[in-house]
Structure 1
Amino acid sequence: METSHLLLLVWSALSFWELGQIWFAQIVIYPLFARVGELEYVAYHRFYSRHIALPVILPGFATFLLPIPLSLYGPAVPGWMSSANIVAGIVGLLVTVLLEIPRHNRLERNGKNASTIAELIRYNWPRTLSVSAQSMITFLMLVHVFDQA
């Protein structure tokens, strides 16, 4: 198997992993933030923040950044696929850095706040949709590359 094809397979696993993660966060984890009591909230959020690095943060940032090397070193795919994958990654990165991280920091610093939790959920939708788009594009890349093999 060519290295470029292997890179696409590794990217695919990462992309589909992140798809499950982002939808789980959107539908289950973030709404649960509102159900934690005020007295336990800061400790809960700190526990959450300390334990998400390996399963959530590292794969998340990888899906934002790896479309660029994939476009350079991966198998030949139509340019729109690579471009859309990169744009979706940039959207996810910007939403994370500009909207989500500040709200997580606010929750951890100030404790439970219903409006901040609602913002966290609302502002996560563009990231959820961008990760979903990356997975759809990845599926199309797989079909394009391996249908020709």
Structure 2
Amino acid sequence: MSIEIIVFVIAASTTFFNNALHWYTQVTTYPLFGWVGQTEFVSFHKEYERRLPFSIYIPYMLLMLSTLLLVFVHPVEVKLGWVLMLLVLNASIMIISLTFAVPIHNRLQRQGYSDKGSIRRLIQYNSVRLIASSASSVIMLYLLIGLLLNRTATSL
């Protein structure tokens, strides 16, 4: 197996995994913030943030590193323009997070309780990240199918 295929498989895997994380956050994690009692919220939120490095930050870092590496090392069948589009979509997730979601999380932590408006905004901002990660997954699936069809046709 060539290095180009290995990098592509890692990038595809991390793309799909991160998209699943955004779906999970949208459907489960953020809505549950509103169900946590006011007295338990600070400790719940601290525990949530303590778990972020392994559940969110490391997978996202692997996504960005593999996508960046894919810019330089990609199968010939995969056009550079598509890889750059993946990079832009994946980078937009971090920009949205740092610009919108992190300040809300910080405010929730400071105020010591969750309010429905903040939870609603977290879900709205995550929906934008979800659109970006889903678009990235659709592009990756398109590239994966094209690569498989091309390689299959070439080997016949």
Q: CA deviation at 1:69?
A: 2.0
Aligned length: 149
Q: Displacement of 1:146 after TM fit? A: 2.3
Whether the 8 Å CA contact 1:65–1:89 is kept in 2: the answer is no
TM-aligned CA deviation for residue 64 of structure 1 = 4.2
User: What secondary structure sits across from 1:38 in the alignment?
Assistant: coil
Q: What's the Cα RMSD here?
A: 1.5
Query: Structure 1 regions of 5+ residues with no counterpart?
Result: none
Q: How many Å separate the matches in 1 of 2:63 and 2:128?
A: 15
After the TM superposition, which segments of 4 or more aligned residues of structure 1 sit over 6 Å from their partners?
none
Q: 1: CA distance between counterparts of 2:55 and 2:74? A: 24
Q: Normalization by structure 2: what TM-score?
A: 0.88
Aligned mates of 2:64, 2:110 — CA distance in 1: 27
| TM-score of the pair, normalised by structure 1 | 0.91
- In structure 1, the residue matched to 2:2 is 2
Q: Which of the residues 109, 126, 129 maps onto 1:124? A: 126
Larger Rg: 2
**8 Å contact 1:92–1:130 — kept in the other structure?**
yes
Q: 1:19-55 CA deviation, whole Å, 9 max, x = no partner? A: 1111010011101101111111011000111012112
Uncovered stretches (5+) of structure 2, i.e. residues with no partner: 152-156
Report which stretch shifted further, 29-38 or 56-65.
56-65
Q: Which residue of 2 aligns with 1:40?
A: 40
For 1:71 and 1:65, how far apart are their aligned partners in 2?
10
State percent identity of aligned pairs: 26
> Quick one: distance in 1 between partners of 2:75 and 2:90?
19
**Residue in 2 that maps onto 1:144:** 146
> Hey, what does 1:92 align to over in structure 2?
93
Q: What amino acid sits opposite 2:42 in the alignment?
A: V
1:73 positional shift? 1.2
